[in-house]
Each structure stands twice: as C-alpha cells, then as structure tokens.
C-alpha cells in the first residue's frame, strides 16, 4: 500500500450495488480501498484492476473469513490500522409475517445485524490504532415501515440503527467515530439479486401475490440516486467528521420528516396510500361472499 494513503474496507462490493458505488467513491477520494465480496468475480473489473485497490474474498457470516480479511488488511497496511470500515452487506426479505420461515428470517438478522457487530469486533484493534471510522449502512425502513410485507427486513434494520448508535457511544472514548447511514432510495441491483417471494397457496395473502411480487420489481428505487452519488455523499460526510445518523438517498428528507412529525394515525394513512393492499384484500373478500 502506498504511503500516506488512508484505507477503507467496504463489504458487499458487487458491481451494480451500493457497495460498488461506495468503493469507487472512496477510491476517487484517495483511499486505498479493500473491496470485498463473497464472490470477488462479481466486483467490477474496472474497480478490481484499479491501482490502490485490494480485492478480498469476504463472507461476513464466517468468522474464519472475517479473520482472514483482518490478517490481509494488517499485512497490506503494514500494521498501521484501518481508517474506515464500511458495513454495507445486507439481505432483503419481502414476505408476509404470517408466511415467514423463521430460520430464513434469522438469516436476515444474521446478515443485517450480527454480521455488522462481528465485523466491528474483529476490526476494532485496527480501527482503534488508526483512530478510524465505522460506517454502518442501515435503512429508512428501520424507522418508518415503508416496506410493506417487509417486517423482518425492517426490524433487522431497526436493530442495526439502534446497535450502531449505541456502538457509537461505546467506541467514541476509544477514538473511533461511527456514522449510521439511514438509507432511502438508491438505484441498485438489490431487487434483481433478491428474486421473487414464494407466497404459499395456503397464505391469507395468496390472492394478492402478484402485488407482493411487484414490490420486488425495483419500483421503490425509481426516485433514487445512483450508487455512485450515494457513495460520494457518504465520503463527504466521513471527510467532514460527521457522526450519528445521516439520512441519505432519494426521499430521505421526506422520510425523516414523516418519522419525526407525523402522529401514528397520519403515518397509517400515508402508508395505506402507498401500499393499498388492505383494500385489495377487502375487495377479494367481497367477491368471495
């Protein structure tokens, strides 16, 4: 690693995703980037082959894989520590709560919450040595339930937000700053990679299965910013030394306003207008009578 460069490790850097945009943005700002993914072949060749980029295989659900990444970063940085750790890897889930497989739901929490803590624990010595930064990518859905039929994803992100804000207080005396990204709409391939929910025929919601599947078609990203724009916004906040929650992405200001000011009954009205599945179910019920 070239002397004088800061270092940043980003999880989930597959091409077309938010992680790829973050990696490109940090690289453009003069960081040596550790671009990681479970399958490094999915990282954009233009990023992977750029100078001052180290590609690492990293499965955030594997303690062995995390330990190997720590060893690689220590070696490449010459033991100088890690300046920025970006916990970006995440897992989506769209499924009615009544039809959710509990073990599958636990897997969402494993990725969106426990893996974040595991990464912070493992890289803490390097972050403390560099007086570094932890950046945790969460979601507006953790504070406002915009994702209909996303109870598992939403609650995992709510846990990540509270965890991140608590870890911020714990890490501050050690010289490590923490930025919690409350992420709104960002154009990426996340829904493409997710696939369609399989609503069982026994589900109370089987009659609106096409509507539920439509929630995974990327429509919620239509007003989003690009992953690169997102990355540049995040880097600027890191460079300014911001800590705490940072609302970012298309519609972030509106979501923040809703979370802050709207009473529950108005929030319910807003969500009912955005996700009119209750009316669909009622209409189907009437047709069956």
Q: Is residue 274 part of a domain?
A: no
Reported in sequence order, the residue ranges of the chain that DSSP labels E, i.e. its strands, are 6-10, 31-37, 53-57, 84-87, 133-137, 177-183, 186-187, 225-226, 244-248
Are 138 and 165 contacting, i.e. CB atoms less than 8 angstroms apart?
no
Distances (CA, A) of 12 to 7, 54, 55, 261, 263: 17, 14, 11, 34, 36
Mean pLDDT of 197-217: 91
Cβ–Cβ contacts within 10 Å for residue 154, how many?
A: 21
Residue 269 lies in a domain: no
Mean pLDDT over residues 87-91, rounded? 97
153 flagged as catalytic: yes
Q: Among residues 265, 237, 91, 221, which one has the least CA distance to residue 178?
A: 237
Q: Which phi and psi (to 5°) does residue 288 adopt?
A: -80, -20
End-to-end Cα, the chain, rounded Å: 70
Rounded to whole angstroms, the maximal C-alpha distance in the chain is 74
Per-residue model confidence (pLDDT) at position 53: 98
pLDDT more than 90, % of the chain? 76
Q: 221 with 185: CB under 8 angstroms?
A: yes
Residue-number span of the structural domain to which 35 is assigned: 6-262
**Residue 286 within any structural domain of the chain:** no
pLDDT at residue 136 greater than cutoff 90: yes
Q: In this structure, is residue 182 part of a structural domain?
A: yes
Q: Is the dihedral of CA 126, 70, 142, 21 positive or negative?
A: positive
Asked if residue 203 lies in contact with residue 189, where contact means CB atoms within 8 angstroms, the answer is: no
What pLDDT digit, counting tens, does each position of 265-281 carry?
888 888 888 888 888 78
CA–CA distances in Å: residue 232 to residues 23, 126, 136, 235, 263: 10, 24, 15, 5, 34
| pLDDT for res 147 | 64
- Tell me the mean pLDDT in the region 219-241: 91
pLDDT at 216: 85
At 142-194, the pLDDT tens digits run 999 876 899 999 999 999 999 999 999 999 999 999 999 999 999 988 877 67
pTM: 0.93
Identify the band that residue 209 occupies on the pLDDT scale cut at 50, 70 and 90.
very high
Residue 288 is predicted with a pLDDT of: 56
Structurally, the chain folds into a number of domains equal to 1
* Residue 227 falls inside a structural domain: yes
Mean pLDDT for all residues in the chain: 93
CA-based nearest residue to 49, from 81, 24, 77? 24
- Residue 224, domain member (yes or no): yes
Q: What is the pLDDT of residue 287?
A: 58
Is 125 within a domain? yes
Band the pLDDT of 4: cuts 50, 70, 90: confident
Say if residues 24 and 8 touch (Cβ distance below 8 Å). Answer: no
Q: Is 187 a catalytic residue?
A: no
Catalytic residue among 6, 91, 157, 187: 157
Residue in 31, 113, 133, 153 annotated catalytic: 153
Q: Report how far residue 105's alpha carbon sits from residue 98's, in angstroms, rounded to the nearest whole number.
A: 12
Flag whether 257 is in a domain.
yes
Strands 186-187 vs 244-248: parallel, antiparallel or unpaired: unpaired
Q: With 90 as the cut, is the pLDDT of residue 219 above it?
A: no
For residue 155, the domain's CATH number is: 3.40.50.720
């Amino acid at each position: 690693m070239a002397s004088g460069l800061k270092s940043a490790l980003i999880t989930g850097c597959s091409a077309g995703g938010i992680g790829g945009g973050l990696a490109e943005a940090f690289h453009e700002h003069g960081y040596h980037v550790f671009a990681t993914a479970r399958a490094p072949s999915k990282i954009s060749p233009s990023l992977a082959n750029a100078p001052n980029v180290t590609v690492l295989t990293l499965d955030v659900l594997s303690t062995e894989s995390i330990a190997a990444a720590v060893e690689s970063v220590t070696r490449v940085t010459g033991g100088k520590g890690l300046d920025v750790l970006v916990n970006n890897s995440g897992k989506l889930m769209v499924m009615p709560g009544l039809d959710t497989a509990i073990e599958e739901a636990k897997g969402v929490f494993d990725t969106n919450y426990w893996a974040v803590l595991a990464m912070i624990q493992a890289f803490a010595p390097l972050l403390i040595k560099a007086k570094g930064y932890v950046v945790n990518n969460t979601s507006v859905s953790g504070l406002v339930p915009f994702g209909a039929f996303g109870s598992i994803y939403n609650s995992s992100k709510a846990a990540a937000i509270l965890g991140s804000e608590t870890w911020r207080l714990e890490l501050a005396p050690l010289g490590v700053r923490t930025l919690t990204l409350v992420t709104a709409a960002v154009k990426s391939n996340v829904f493409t990679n997710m696939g369609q929910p399989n609503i069982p025929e026994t589900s109370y919601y089987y009659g609106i299965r096409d509507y539920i599947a439509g929630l995974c078609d990327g429509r919620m990203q239509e007003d989003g910013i690009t992953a690169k724009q997102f990355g540049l916004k995040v880097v600027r906040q890191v460079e300014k030394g911001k800590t705490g929650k940072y609302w970012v992405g298309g519609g972030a200001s509106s979501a923040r306003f809703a979370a802050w000011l709207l009473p529950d009954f108005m929030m319910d009205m807003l969500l009912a207008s955005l996700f009119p599945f209750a009316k669909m179910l009622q209409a189907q019920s009437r047709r069956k009578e």
